[in-house]
Amino acid sequence: MFDKLEQIKNDYKLTESELADPANLSDPKKLSQLNRKRVELQNLINLFDELERCQKEINETEVLVTAESDPEMLKLIEDELITKRGKSKVLTEQIELELLPKDINDEKNIIVEIRAGAGGDEAALFASELFRMYVRYSEKNNWKIEVLNSNQNEIGGIKEIIFEITGVNVYKYLKYESGVHRVQRVPETESGGRIHTSTVTVAVLPEAEEIDLKIEPNEIRIDVFRSSGPGGQSVNTTDSAVRITHLPTNITVSCQDQKSQIKNRDKAMAILRSRLLNLRQEEEAKKRGDARRSQIGTGDRSEKIRTYNFPQDRITDHRISFSLHNLPNFMAGNIDEMINKLIETDRLESLKNLD
């Protein structure tokens, strides 16, 4: 393991050199990436230094064990040796996890698509609650949310909403949310008190820039129309809404939440690029015969990933067989414990597969 330390130190020096380059100083995005890389490398170097000190202490303690004849002192020294060996094991595992290959999309912003599934109005209401949950979680992390397109019903539920989240490492923390979210509860519209089961699909796509994916003008058809609100009524008198069809794949994207046709077109193109990048990465993963993003789930939208059981006040993630309680707190955006457990499990599974 220590044979990698020299390369890490060289990478750290190179990163510091790049940070001092005037060309990078004038590029905020590049500067932010380099700063994050420097912090990661420095943390790794600190872990190696701590492991080295710990192993030195273990060697010194082992010498004391062989030299000590007093039974009581020997017991104390042996207990200390057990503690230091335990610390060494923890540090080694931390370093191994940090050295795992990073997901190239982790630092990217994301586009999230939430759609009501089975359950009619109840599914639409729960879709709106999931949207608010992600808004509150984003606010806690100082991320910015912008709605790109939405379709509500008459009672305030969401049939579909597409929004962008921008910030630091957004995809890293929310990529595991893709899939089917199932809710079990007595709907407000249910007079008999029966528990209903409804579903909502969530898709989390890493945002694709033009450098990631180039779309030729002859590959798309652009249509404009008047935007509409709940029930289909027109909400403006100009053709500001935009629909873009990618002809080779027949993927269609509509955007109507912006007042400007140009802005709607730009937002629709951003959604289209992200969907196409997601499609390309999934196809490449299938060719390699592996799951595209993680060991705990394929990210398939048809995969049931989580159940929100309101009568039992329980949230269960089926991929890792992990449950939490206090649903109101969870729906208020306090989902960190679940997210961190998913990240931890995924990394540990990745580490096992390296053995």
pLDDT in tens, 270-323: 899 899 988 888 787 776 665 444 445 544 456 799 999 999 999 999 999 999
Asked if the structure places residue 166 within a domain, the reply is: yes
**Residue 229 pLDDT:** 59
**Residue 151 pLDDT:** 87
Mean pLDDT of 317-344: 95
Asked if the structure places residue 353 within a domain, the reply is: no
Q: Degrees (nearest 5) of the Cα angle 86, 87, 91?
A: 120
| Enclosing domain of residue 12 | 2-98
Model confidence at 97, pLDDT cuts 50, 70, 90, reads confident
Q: pLDDT tens digits, residue range 218-255? A: 999 998 887 665 544 444 545 778 999 999 999 999 88
**Residue 301 pLDDT:** 52
In whole angstroms, give the CA distance from residue 26 to residue 88: 42
More confident: 146 or 30? 146
Assess whether 153 and 263 both reside in one domain: yes
Judged against a pLDDT cut of 70, whether residue 39 lies above it is answered with yes
- Which residue type does 199 have? T
Q: Domains in the chain: how many in total?
A: 2
**Residue 3 pLDDT:** 83
In percent, the amount of the chain with pLDDT more than 70 equals 89
Last residue of a domain, one of 74, 98, 122: 98
Last residue of a domain, one of 54, 70, 98: 98
List the one residue out of 130, 152, 175 whose CA is nearest residue 291: 175
Assess whether 284 and 141 both reside in one domain: yes
Model confidence at 14, pLDDT cuts 50, 70, 90, reads very high
Asked if the structure places residue 354 within a domain, the reply is: no
In whole angstroms, give the CA distance from residue 105 to residue 65: 50
Mean pLDDT of 94-99: 84
Assess whether 130 and 201 both reside in one domain: yes
Asked if the structure places residue 314 within a domain, the reply is: yes
Assess whether 143 and 182 both reside in one domain: yes
**Residue 321 pLDDT:** 94
Assess whether 147 and 280 both reside in one domain: yes
Q: pLDDT tens digits, residue range 136-160? A: 999 999 999 999 888 888 888 999 9
More confident: 131 or 106? 131
CATH number for position 199 = 3.30.70.1660
Sign of CA dihedral 246, 247, 252, 253: positive
Model confidence at 103, pLDDT cuts 50, 70, 90, reads confident
Judged against a pLDDT cut of 80, whether residue 341 lies above it is answered with yes
Assess whether 207 and 325 both reside in one domain: yes
In whole angstroms, give the CA distance from residue 55 to residue 104: 33
Q: Give the 3-state DSSP-derived string for the chain, with helices as H, strands as E and coil as C.
A: CHHHHHHHHHHHHHHHHHHCCHHHHCCHHHHHHHHHHHHHHHHHHHHHHHHHHHHHHHHHHHHHHHHCCCHHHHHHHHHHHHHHHHHHHHHHHHHHHHCCCCCCCCCCCEEEEEEECCCCHHHHHHHHHHHHHHHHHHHHCCCEEEEEEEEECCCCCEEEEEEEEECCCHHHHHHHHCEEEEEEECCCCCCCCCCEEEEEEEEEEECCCCCCCCCCHHHEEEEEECCECHHHCECCCCCCEEEEEECCCCEEEEECCCCCHHHHHHHHHHHHHHHHHHHHHHHHHHHHCCCCCCCCCCCCCCCEEEEEECCCCEEEECCCCEEEECHHHHHCCCCHHHHHHHHHHHHHHHHHHHC
Last residue of a domain, one of 78, 98, 118: 98
Assess whether 18 and 124 both reside in one domain: no
Mean pLDDT of 48-56: 95
**Residue 68 pLDDT:** 87
**Residue 211 pLDDT:** 66
Assess whether 117 and 87 both reside in one domain: no
Assess whether 198 and 73 both reside in one domain: no
Asked if the structure places residue 355 within a domain, the reply is: no
- Point out the least confidently predicted range of 9-23, 55-69, 182-196, 230-244: 230-244
Assess whether 16 and 139 both reside in one domain: no
List the one residue out of 86, 92, 148, 154 whose CA is nearest residue 272: 148
Assess whether 262 and 129 both reside in one domain: yes
- Contacts for 213 with CB less than 8 Å, ≥ 6 apart: 273, 276, 277, 280
* Spacing of C-alpha 26 from chain mean position: 29
Assess whether 86 and 117 both reside in one domain: no
